Amino acid sequence: MQISTVPNGTARGVGRGRLPTALRRLLLAQSLSQAGFVVMNLAMPLIAATSLHASPLGVGLVSACQTVAFLLIGLPVGVWVDRMRKRRIMITADLVRAAALALVPALWALDALTVAALCAVALVVGTATAFFDVAEQSYLPHLVAADRLVAANARLVTVEQTAAVAGPGTAGLVVQAVTAPLAVAVTAVSYLGSAVFLGRIPDRGERIAAKTGEPLHRAVAEGVRHVWRHPLIRPLVACSTTMTFCWSMGYAMLLVLLAQDLAVPAATIGLLFTAGGAGGLLATAVVRRLIERLGDGRAVVLSVTLAGPCTLLSALAAPGPRLALVACGQFAFAAGVVVYNVAQVSYRQRSVPPDLLGRVNATVRFFAWGARPLGVIAGGLLAESFGTRTAVWAGAAGTALAGLWLLCSPLRSLRVLPGPDPAPRPDLLH
């Protein structure tokens, strides 16, 4: 196993041998958390579309509420994460998500489940997820040395993609067998399991931002300024935001197209979206070697520009063999996103000062994930006015063009992304 020594003298290794206990437990917690998220992400809109017979806009609102917290409180979350113990934040977030999701089957059993209630639950879960995700990305550098972040992020993404492979198919089968509301109960249990494993991580000292008395708006502005002024992080955020907005528009309406317009069974829908997880899982097997061979600069540019156009295949879906186009599009796009995310997240973690990392991560999430509910609502409005398939086409076309942000930036000429100093050096240009 390869070992690296961090400034405080603690050896932290990520190699092919036995993983450090703390990282292993974080991976186990992440596996349960991601499994729950994948099931919920499919089950909640399906509840609205099938059990409650909601309109496309209603389905879109349920999906939007799952991530609108990143837009509403995404920026101050970064300040709070920088000022608090990140492991405690993640544990609390898991417990809140479990409690909120347990209400869905309870309300359904009482015949009191409505679209408004689903939106409320999704909003609470999404708020807790905003805290969890920002805390997790900011917590990893406390466990892993900077030169091992790509390997550690690759392992985390492997966990996410394994959940993405099993989650949609499992969710579809459970929804079809025991109804969607009961499927959500599985998610609640998985979040409880995640909290248990996080609680077993040794409580090493975490570095907390020293400026705890700084006004909230100034602390938030510091993170936004860092992202805006950084010549490499700024185009990455623009690309991620565009891609998330357009992909969310197409994904949410693709569910409506399959479930309502084409009358595809829930189990089949789950299997089609499982292909996306399979593509991502395959990418995790080669992502570290691919980034090392191409360089992280080339990896982020090529991954998006090649994978984005593949989402156009989903818009061609029709009963029969053409349903396979959905699986093909999901497979290719997910594979590209895995490479993109591992490269750009690892770069951000090693280049941003630790005291600022929570705020920078929150700023990135604010724009990238905050665009998701806006995209879903835009997709619902577009579907109401021009038809569901038109909304799917629009989302796919926008996703295909998201890579233009990178092609028009300094990233296009960088093989390796520089460290804390964003100014590119001549030896990095190829």
Positive/negative CA dihedral, 337, 13, 86, 33: positive
Q: What is the pLDDT of residues 146-190, one digit of tens each?
A: 677 777 777 777 766 666 666 566 666 666 665 667 778 878 888
Q: What is the pLDDT of residue 176?
A: 63
Q: What is the pLDDT of residues 313-346, one digit of tens each?
A: 988 988 888 899 999 998 999 899 989 988 888 8
Could you tell me the pLDDT band of residue 62, with boundaries at 50, 70 and 90? Answer: confident
pLDDT in tens, 252-297: 889 888 888 888 887 788 778 777 778 877 887 888 888 888 888 8
pLDDT at 391: 93
pTM of the model: 0.70
